Structure 1
Amino acid sequence: MNPVMHVEIAVADLARAIAFYQQWLQVVIDAPVHVHDCTMAYLPFEDDAGGASMALVQGADYRPSEQGARIYIGVDDLDASLARAQQAGAALRFGPAEAGGWRVAEIADSEGNRIAVQAPIAT
């Protein structure tokens, strides 16, 4: 079992973040819901699948930051993913670089969060 069950990415502007993540990750994000004095929008997930669910969250105690925990998002093609992220407005912060059997990079998303991206090295 993976110990991480859910990740929340703090955003200052939920509509802007939804547009960014939909363009970058090529997914449809659920309509925002109000939970515990905040507004969140879930990225696609399946309850029975491995890995964690993820949501974009706007609320008084959610502050985007380049400091703090680093979230790694797995992709199939790092170069294509970075190109889409940059087209959506991301800034490249690090990489791409090789780390073991992976290629990794870090971006600043539309909200200023530092997000890591990784893909397996093609063999």
Structure 2
Amino acid sequence: MVSVSIVEIPARDLERARAFYARVFAVELEITEVDGQRMVFFPTEDEQATGLALTEGDDYVPSGEGVRFYLTVDDLDGVLARAVEAGGEIAAEVEAVEGWGRYAAFRDLEGTVVGVTQP
């Protein structure tokens, strides 16, 4: 069995990244420390899952290359609009897949590309 446990979004400036993602996803985010590592965990309904986190450190390099992940949201257009308002860029325009939903992507303030989907 394979499943996703944690996805960490690298950040050089954790305070700026926290503010950006809090605005984009309209959630409250707090900086915390885990074993000396500064992190921001996104809220999740599953108490057993860690899920999505922002992470700051020398070995965490923001990039628009490599692995791309997609987050399911209730309001794709709202997320994209807030990303642009917060200083991000659209990385992939909204596309629709019949019978599945819509998807797009934005680039955060440090260049990481985040995909979003809406069923």
Corresponding letter in the other structure for 2:84: Q
Corresponding letter in the other structure for 2:77: D
Structure 1 CA distance for aligned equivalents of residues 13 and 97 of structure 2: 33
TM-superposed CA distance for 1:52, in Å, is: 5.8
Corresponding letter in the other structure for 1:70: R
Q: In structure 1, what is the equivalent of residue 57 of structure 2?
A: 59
Q: How does 1:1-123 map to 2 (within 5 A)?
A: 3-35=3-35, 38-48=37-47, 53-100=51-98, 101-120=100-119
* Contact residue 18 and residue 31 of structure 2 kept, 8 A: no
- The alignment partner of 1:32 has SS state of strand
What is the total number of aligned residue pairs between the two structures?
Answer: 118
Q: Which runs of 5+ in 1 are unaligned?
A: none
Q: Which runs of 5+ in 2 are unaligned?
A: none
Structure 1 CA distance for aligned equivalents of residues 97 and 64 of structure 2: 21
* Contact residue 24 and residue 85 of structure 1 kept, 8 A: yes
Structure 1 CA distance for aligned equivalents of residues 80 and 4 of structure 2: 24
Name the % identity.
Answer: 38
Structure 1 CA distance for aligned equivalents of residues 63 and 31 of structure 2: 24
Question: Alignment RMSD, CA only?
Answer: 1.9
